[in-house]
Amino acid sequence: KQEVTQIPAALSVPEGENLVLNCSFTDSAIYNLQWFRQDPGKGLTSLLLIQSSQREQTSGRLNASLDKSSGRSTLYIAASQPGDSATYLCAAYTGNQFYFGTGTSLTVIP
Amino acid sequence: EADIYQTPRYLVIGTGKKITLECSQTMGHDKMYWYQQDPGMELHLIHYSYGVNSTEKGDLSSESTVSRIRTEHFPLTLESARPSHTSQYLCASSEWGGLDTEAFFGQGTRLTVV
């Protein structure tokens, strides 16, 4: 069964800093890897999706990379802002189900 | 913006009551899901559906039931609510089987059973 792990569980950085969130998965047979943002008490908002054949995707200050063979994905956030404070989750899609990590709780300090 | 809606957003209800959490999507997705999430914890899949008249149990044992009579509607029912059912319930939908298959989530229902 696919297992998805996210490290660190929590991260606190000063405003303006660049940061990297990590996601690892045990089975490389995935269709895609999706990154989400979750604000407290809310649902998940999709940020980026990387197909298995792709290496990276970019949206604004966000850049996600995928190394399927090593079972890893990273989310890079440039010039962090207090509004980026949230929990970030990754999900590996196997063609049938989505497998979610436990998330990284990010706090950006003004 | 995702077109998937959950109602109610918040619900406080007494033990033993029957409740139905509503989920609707306007994207025509065949596959729909219900997840349970406690604060700061991971998502647990409790039910999913491949399409009309299809319902399957997920990884987490749940005392809830679901139905899928229409493509756009996937309600979750608790016949007799208990305090242990207190949690956030998230509904999601997707197409399925494609490299670009993306999950779309509703805003969630925060359920408190007293």
Residue in this structure with the two tokens 């998230």, named with its chain if needed: B90
Sheet strand arrangement including B76-78: B4-7, B19-25, B76-78, B65-66
Chain A residues lying within 8 Å of B108, measured CB to CB: 41-43
- HSE value, Cβ hemisphere, 13 Å, CA-based, for B22: 10
Chain A residues lying within 8 Å of B102, measured CB to CB: 32, 34, 46, 49
pLDDT, residue B98, reads: 86
CB contact under 8 A, B90 and A41: no
pLDDT, residue B2, reads: 58
Residue pLDDT, tens place only, A20-67 = 999 999 999 999 999 999 999 899 999 999 999 999 999 999 999 999
Closest residue in chain B to residue A50, using alpha carbons only: B100
Q: What is the pLDDT along chain B (114 residues), one digit of tens a residue?
A: 559 999 999 999 999 999 999 999 999 999 999 999 998 888 999 999 999 999 999 987 778 999 999 999 999 999 999 999 999 999 999 998 888 899 999 999 999 999
CB contact under 8 A, A31 and B94: no
CB contact under 8 A, B104 and A46: yes
Q: Which residues, including other chains, have CB under 8 Å from residue A78's CB and lie 6 or more apart?
A: A18, A61, A62, A63
Q: Which residues, including other chains, have CB under 8 Å from residue A52's CB and lie 6 or more apart?
A: A30, A31, A32, A33, A66, A68, B99
On whether any CB of chain A is under 8 Å from the CB of B57, the answer is no
